[in-house]
C-alpha cells in the first residue's frame, strides 16, 4: 500500500517534529515517544478548537492503549500521525492510529476512549450528535 493510500484511509493527520532528546541509547526514537506522538494525534482529533468532537462538560480518558512497534523512528525528522474511528459505543469510541516516518508505518495503535463527565468524573453517554460525527469518521469496512 502506498503512502497516498494510507493517508486517504485516515481522516485526521498531524505532523510532529522529532527532537534530539527523543532518542535513546540505541540512537532511535524511544518507545515512550511513540505514545506521545499518538497523544498529539488524539488531542488534535478530539479537541480541535475549530471543530471539537468533545462536547462541553465532557472529556475523553484512555481506558486501553494497544501499541505495536512496526519500525524504528529516527531523529532528525518529522512524523505524520493518522487517526480514525474504528468503533462507536454508548459512552466510548475506539480509535485506530498510525505513525508514519518517510513513508514507513512505524507504529500502529488501537485506543479505547471513554467520555467522562467533568463534574461527576464518571462515564458519560455520547450524545446522538457526537455518535453521528464519530460514525462519519469511521474506517471503511
Cis peptide before 76 (omega within 30 of 0): yes
Q: Which domains does the chain have, with CATH numbers?
A: 3-136 (3.10.129.10)
Instruction: Say what the pTM is.
Output: 0.91
Confidence band for 141, pLDDT divided at 50, 70 and 90 = low
Mean pLDDT for the chain overall: 93
pLDDT tens string 44-96: 999 988 888 888 899 999 999 999 999 999 999 999 999 999 999 999 999 99
Mean pLDDT of 119-124: 96
Task: Label the pairing between strands 12-17 and 78-88.
Answer: antiparallel
Per-residue model confidence (pLDDT) at position 97: 98
Mean pLDDT of 26-42: 94
Mean pLDDT of 1-28: 86
Contacts of 62 (CB under 8 A, 6+ apart): 111, 112, 113, 114
Per-residue model confidence (pLDDT) at position 92: 97
120: pLDDT strictly greater than 60: yes
Amino acid at each position: 500500500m502506498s503512502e497516498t493510500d494510507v493517508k486517504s484511509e485516515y481522516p485526521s493527520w498531524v505532523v510532529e517534529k522529532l527532537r534530539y532528546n527523543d532518542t535513546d541509547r540505541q540512537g532511535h526514537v524511544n518507545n515512550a515517544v511513540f505514545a506521545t506522538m499518538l497523544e498529539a494525534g488524539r488531542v488534535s482529533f478530539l479537541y480541535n478548537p475549530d471543530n471539537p468532537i468533545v462536547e462541553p462538560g465532557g472529556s475523553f480518558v484512555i481506558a486501553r492503549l494497544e501499541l505495536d512497534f512496526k519500525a524504528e523512528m529516527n531523529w532528525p525528522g518529522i512524523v505524520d500521525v493518522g487517526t480514525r474511528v474504528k468503533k462507536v459505543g454508548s459512552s466510548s469510541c475506539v480509535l485506530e492510529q498510525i505513525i508514519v516516518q518517510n513513508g514507513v508505518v512505524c507504529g500502529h495503535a488501537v485506543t479505547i476512549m471513554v467520555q467522562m463527565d467533568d463534574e461527576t468524573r464518571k462515564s458519560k453517554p455520547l450524545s446522538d450528535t457526537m455518535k453521528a460525527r464519530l460514525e462519519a469518521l469511521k474506517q471503511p469496512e
